[in-house]
């Protein structure tokens, strides 16, 4: 209980100028993170330059909790490449391997079929109702690198929101009560 009363006393003694300084510092941290994210979007050409693998469908290559780095450019998408794609009607992107690339003779449009390395069949059941192929606009990026297990932090905070709120509260209290 002594720790709590010390923090309450600390909060009472903070002056307005210190509170404003802390708020500005917090705002600068958040703004810096957003600027870095937008810069990564511009550099990689991907709307989401970093994604977390959320399932075991790509094992043994990528495991749940791995972080993938994406890049998207005008180069053709080839069979064997690992892509991250969005499907109409689903919020969460999917990480799978391209198994077939088909170019329509009449339009020249490229159609893509994917499959998880650990899945038995292709992804047509995951696509929107009636959709048999992905088009280029569904692809968010190609995997160009990964960090194993680092994404578990995101998974744990998503699956156990109480941990996320506790961490945010603790960090907020730390920022408010720091003297510098």
Query: Which 3 state secondary structure label does DSSP give 148?
Result: coil
Q: Which residues pair with 100 in a beta bridge?
A: 113
Tell me which H or E stretch contains 135. strand 134-135
How many separate helices (H) and strands (E) can be counted in the chain?
A: 4, 7
Report phi then psi at 111, rounded to 5.
Answer: -115, 140
Report how far residue 51's alpha carbon sits from residue 82's, in angstroms, rounded to the nearest whole number: 13
Residue 52 contacts residue 155 (beta carbons within 8 Å): yes
Task: Reply yes or no on whether 137 is catalytic.
Answer: no
Active-site residue, selected from the candidate residues 10, 48, 106, 123: 123
Active-site residue, selected from the candidate residues 46, 57, 66, 138: 57
State the DSSP code for 48. Answer: S
Task: Reply yes or no on whether 123 is catalytic.
Answer: yes
Task: Reply yes or no on whether 57 is catalytic.
Answer: yes
Q: Is 108 left (phi over 0), alpha (psi -120 to 50) or beta?
A: left
Active-site residue, selected from the candidate residues 96, 102, 129, 178: 96
Catalytic site positions = 57, 96, 123
């Amino acid at each position: 209980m002594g720790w709590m009363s010390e923090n309450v006393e600390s909060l009472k003694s903070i002056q307005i100028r210190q509170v404003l300084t802390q708020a500005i510092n917090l705002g600068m941290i958040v703004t810096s993170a957003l600027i870095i994210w937008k810069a990564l979007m511009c550099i990689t050409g991907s709307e989401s330059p970093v994604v977390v693998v959320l399932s075991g469908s790509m094992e043994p290559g990528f495991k749940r909790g791995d972080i993938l780095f994406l890049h998207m450019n005008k180069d053709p998408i080839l069979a064997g490449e690992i892509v991250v794609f969005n499907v109409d009607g689903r919020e969460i992107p999917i990480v799978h391997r391209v198994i077939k690339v088909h170019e329509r003779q009449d339009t020249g449009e490229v159609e893509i079929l994917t499959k998880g390395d650990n899945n038995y069949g292709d992804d047509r059941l995951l696509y929107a109702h009636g959709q048999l192929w992905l088009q280029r606009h569904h692809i968010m990026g190609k995997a160009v690198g990964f960090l194993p297990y680092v994404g578990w932090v995101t998974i744990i905070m998503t699956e156990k929101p109480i941990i996320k709120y506790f961490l945010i509260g603790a960090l907020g209290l730390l920022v408010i009560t720091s003297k510098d």
